[in-house]
Structure formats: C-alpha cells, structure tokens
Amino acid sequence: MRVAPPLLLLLPALVLLPVLVALPLLVHGGGWELIGQFLQGAISPSLDPVVLNSVITGLGLTLGMALLGWAVSLMLGLVLGLASSRLIWQSLSGTALPAELVRRILAIPRAIHELIWGLLLLQLVGQQPAVAVLAIAIPYGALVARVVSDLVDALPTPNLEALRAGGAPAGAALLTALGPPLLPGVISYGGYRLECALRSATLLGVFGLGGLGNELVLTLQSLQFHELWTGLWVLLVVMLGLESGIGALRRRWGMPARFGLGAGSVGQRGRELLLSLLALVPLLLWVGRALEVDPRALLQWQALPPLAPHGWASALALPWPSMVLQTLVLTLLAAALAVGVAPLLLLLVAPWPWGRRLLQLIWAFGRLWPPPLTALLLLFVLKPGVVTAALALGFHNLGILGRLLLEGAEATGSASEDALRCSGSGPRLALLYGRFSGLARSYLAYGAYRADVILRETVVVGLVAGTGLGAQLRESLSSFAWDQLAALLAVYVLLTLVGEDLSDRARQRLLRPA
C-alpha cells in the first residue's frame, strides 16, 4: 500500500481521533458559561473611550517593539548571515572553517525562544521597553542569519568565478555577483519576519513585557470579555492590514512568495525599494524616542540573588525524562493538529462559497491570538495537561499554516480541479484530487519546518498549561534557581538542535523530486 500525495496531506489529521477520545475525559464541570460570555463579547466589544485609549496605547507600544526588534534583528542577521556563509569565507580567506564556527555558535541564540530571552533579560535588567526589543532581536537575528547564509550558499557561483577570474577584488566581486540575486529572497523573508515580530511582541506583552498583550491577558483574567474583544478586533485589523500590505509590496517588487522561498526571481523597482528602506531610518529613530528605548539601560544589571545550597543536586533530581517526553509529545500533537486540520477544514467547507471566508477569519484569529491566551481560555473548561497545551499551540499554528495552504492552493491554479468538476465529481473530491495532489509535498515540507518552530514554542504554553520543560522553567525562573535554569536551557537547546536537524532532513526528503 502506498499513500498517494493528496492523502499524505491529510494523514496528520488522524491525530484528531485520539484527541477527540481524550477530550471528554479532560472536561471539567463549570466554565462553559464563561466561554459563552467570551463568544458574546465578540459581537459587543466595549467602545468606552477609556478602554479604547488603553488599547490604542498598548497597540502603539506593541507595534513599536515589533518594529524595532525586527529592524535590529535584520541588521544583526544580515551581518551574521554573511559572517556564517561558507562561500564568503572561502572567497575572502580561502577557508570555510570560520563559517562553520559562527554557524555552531549562532545555533544557541536561535534555539531559545524569544519569550525565554525576554524573561531572562527581565530578571537581569528589570522592566523596560528595550528588553522586549532585544528579546525579539536576539533569536530573530540568529534565524535571519541562518536563512541569509543558506540563501548565499545556495546561489550559483559561476558569475562570481568569472568576475574573480577577470581580476576583480574579492569584496567587489562578491557584492556584484551575489547582491542582486540575493536581495529578493532577503526582502521577502524580511517581510515575513515583520509579521512574526508583531505576533512575538504581542506574546511578550502577555508575559508582562508591556503593550497590547498585557491588556489582553489582564482583561481575560478579570473576565472583562467586552474589553478583551476591543483589543482583539483592533489587533485583527492591524495584523490583516500589515499582512496584506507586505503581500502587496512583495508582488509590486516582484519578490518570491513564501511557499517557494529561494525561487529565483529578479526584484523590480530598485529605486522605490531603496527609498523605502531609507524612509525606515527616521521612522525607527522616532519610534525609539517615543517608546523611550534606552540601550544604555541594558548594561545596568541587577544583582542576582545568591544561589541556593545544593542547587546542582536539585537540578539533577528534576524529572528530566518525563519533562522531555511531555515536550516531545506536545510538539508532535500540536504540529500534527496544525498541519493536518488545515487541509481537512478546507475540504469540509469546499462546497460553500462563504466557507473559505469563514476559515480565513478563524485562521486570522488563530494567528493573532497568543497561544498562552488560548490556553487560559481552554482552562475554563479543560483540565491542564499536554492535550490542552497542544490544542492551544495547534490552533495558533493552524492559523499560520492555513493561510499558507490557501495561498499555495490559489497559486497552483484551478485547471485540474475544474476538469474534475466538469466531469461531475463533487467539490470536495475535486479539491482533494485536483489541487491537493500538487500541493502536498511543498506543504508538508513547510509543515516539517513548522514542527521545528513549534518545538521552540512549547515553552510558551508549557508556562501556562503546566506541562513539560516550560512549566519547570517558570518555577525555576520565579525561584531564581539559576542552576536549574541553566540545565533547563541546555536541554532545550539540545532538543531544538536535534529537532532542527530532523526537520531539515524531512524537508529535503519531501522536496526531492520523486
């Protein structure tokens, strides 16, 4: 028996069966009334000027943190990316060894989620806007560096060799041969990172680093659902606006879409692009001033509380195997839910013209709604645990994967699906056979990448839903047990590096021509 591509796409959705079986066991008594009130709040958000004012202020702070963190991460990422490119070291110094070294070192900041960076920095330097900016910039910078170096090293080299053979100095030859083909990929990826930065900044707010996320979690905890929805609707409008704006610029400048990162297209309208980048500089300076971000404050470290005696012994005594197992199960459950449910839902709504619109709205909420908030909401009716955490994390990533799947489905064209419809097959079967066939491999490859991201993100729901390494991390953080924290971070880094390697292999296998 060989599973054909369209079914392969739906295979991860099989995880729904055990989840649906487990769900009734997880439901506890009360709380349904609260869920009802929450849903009612959606149609009657508070329009009180005081609420609106605090939402707008919080949104400004979140947007500012996202923008600054994003800009710093791009600059960091470009420099570090070039510094970890084998091709560049090879051309400049004749050996690629330093590139390998930088790559290995960068794996560490990349493996640690921005929330952990945020919480660590918060302990070290106290509450201030610069913390969130830096918390975003560190892991994002390392991520951008990896993508940039991969892009550089994947570029064809004959042009470079020709320039070098003609006697051009290494630096000039690199810039001329690699700059133009590199730019579209970098800009496209950069735009995508800005969308991510907005989500991260909101998430950091949930954990007390300021901004709209803070408002959201406070209104949720005090059950002020009408006020909660004011923030949610505003955030939805901003996020959809940002996404469509970035999409429009990407098309206007002829940049590749996300599904086929690395597909070679040459950018257009270079002057407009340059002017936009230049316009960013005063904007960033103004935002920095408005948020009162002071990089110098980051240097004033608070004194750490003394270590508890026998700290290392107690760190070793933690239930490591079960924590690691829970984290892995959480990752796999959430990834399977997110990857599998998106195509399943698309199939379900295929016959109805409004179905897609509805899904787009639900998915948009999934993207903007930080997973710990979903977890809090689920805790109204479900017991804490791996499944609850996986549902929260899965819903968030469903929003991201669902949008990508729709983009991909629209890009594949309707010819085969139309042909099947014309021969009388139903809308669902036509979608399954006609569109999912061509989409399956690239979508699953992206899903493999996403699973790697989800592994990093487990900490975010672990902190709330009380499961895995994340739960222990919160305890260690709040009790200032630095030794436990160091051990936890080391395990996290190790896990994510192994996960990254596995997901890379899975991706390469999926994208290899059959």
Partner 1 sequence: MGAMQGSSPATSPPVLALEAITVLGRGKPRLDGVTLQIAAGERVALLGPSGAGKSTLLAVANGLLEPSGGQVLWDQQPRAHSARGRRRQQARIGTLWQDLRLIDELTVQQNLNAGCLARWGWPRAVLNLLLPIDSAACAEALQRMDLDPGLLNQSVAALSGGQRQRVAMARMLRQEPTLVLADEPLANLDPRLAGDLLQLLLEQAKAPRALLLSLHRPDLLQGFDRAIGLRNGQLQFDRPVSEIDPAQIQQLYGAEAPGP
Phi and psi at residue 382, in whole multiples of 5°?
Answer: -115, 155
Q: Which is nearer to partner 1, 434 or 499 (CB)?
A: 434
CB of 361 to partner 1, least distance (A): 24
Contact of 230 with 52, CB cutoff 8 Å: yes
Of 470, 478, 499, whose CA–CA distance to 386 is shortest? 470
Structure-block tokens of residue 86: 């084998």
Q: How far is CA 87 from the centre of its chain?
A: 28
Query: Are the beta carbons of 262 and 151 closer than 8 angstroms?
Result: yes
Distances (CA, A) of 246 to 189, 241, 242: 11, 9, 6
The helix/strand/coil state of 222 is coil
* DSSP for 352-376, written as a single string: -TTHHHHHHHHHHHHHHS-HHHHHH
- Rank residues 10 and 63 by Cβ distance to partner 1 and give the closer one: 10
C-alpha 287/C-alpha 169 separation (Å) is 40
CB of 394 to partner 1, least distance (A): 24
User: For partner 1, which is the closer residue by CB, 164 or 421?
Assistant: 421
Q: Which of 3, 316 has the CB closer to partner 1?
A: 3
Q: Classify residue 3 by its DSSP letter.
A: -
Residue whose CB is less far from partner 1, 180 or 351: 351
Provide, rounded to whole angstroms, the least separation between the CB of residue 424 and partner 1: 3
> Closest distance between partner 1 and the C-beta of residue 439, in Å?
9
Can you tell me whether residue 382 is helix, strand or coil? Answer: strand
CB 135 within 8 A of CB 71: no
Residue 125: exposed, middle, or buried by beta-carbon count in 10 A (0-12, 13-18, 19+)?
middle
Taking the least distance from each CB to partner 1, the nearer of 164 and 356 is: 356
Q: Minimum Å distance from CB 414 to partner 1?
A: 10
From residue 383, how far is each of 27, 377, 388, 426, 464 by CA, in Å? Answer: 6, 11, 7, 40, 12
Whichever of 409 and 453 has its CB closer to partner 1, that residue is 409
How many whole angstroms separate alpha carbon 371 and alpha carbon 218? 15
Tell the smallest beta-carbon distance from residue 449 to partner 1 (Å): 21
As measured in angstroms, the least distance from the Cβ of 7 to partner 1 is: 5
Instruction: In angstroms, give the least distance from the CB of 347 to partner 1.
Output: 10
The secondary structure of 47-87, three-state, reads CCHHHHHHHHHHHHHHHHHHHHHHHHHHHHHHHHHHHCCHH
Q: Kindly state the smallest distance separating residue 504's Cβ from partner 1, in Å.
A: 23
Residue ranges binding partner 1 (CB under 8 A): 1-7, 351, 415-416, 418-426, 429-430, 432-434, 437-438, 440-441, 514
Q: Which is nearer to partner 1, 265 or 414 (CB)?
A: 414
Beta bridge partners of 27: 382
Residue nearer to partner 1 on the CB measure, 302 or 423: 423
Q: Helix, strand, coil proportions of the chain in percent (round to 5)?
A: 80, 0, 20
Question: Based on CB atoms, which residue is closest to partner 1, 104 or 509?
Answer: 509
Indicate the residue type of 154: A
Strand locations in 272-334 (E): none
3-state helix/strand/coil string of 296-324: HHHHCCCCCCCCCCCHHHHHHCCCHHHHH
Q: What single-letter DSSP state applies at residue 411?
A: H
Q: Which is nearer to partner 1, 70 or 446 (CB)?
A: 446
Instruction: State the minimum distance, in angstroms, from the CB of residue 430 to partner 1.
Output: 8
Residue 284 one-letter amino acid: L
The per-residue b/e assignment along 475-507, b for 16 or more CB within 10 angstroms, e otherwise, is ebbeeebbbbbebbbebbbebbeebbeebeebb
| Min dist. Cβ of residue 57 to partner 1 (A) | 51
Q: Among residues 7 and 285, whose Cβ is nearest to partner 1? A: 7
d(CA 425, CA 434): 11
User: Whole-number minimum distance, CB 1 to partner 1, in Å?
Assistant: 5
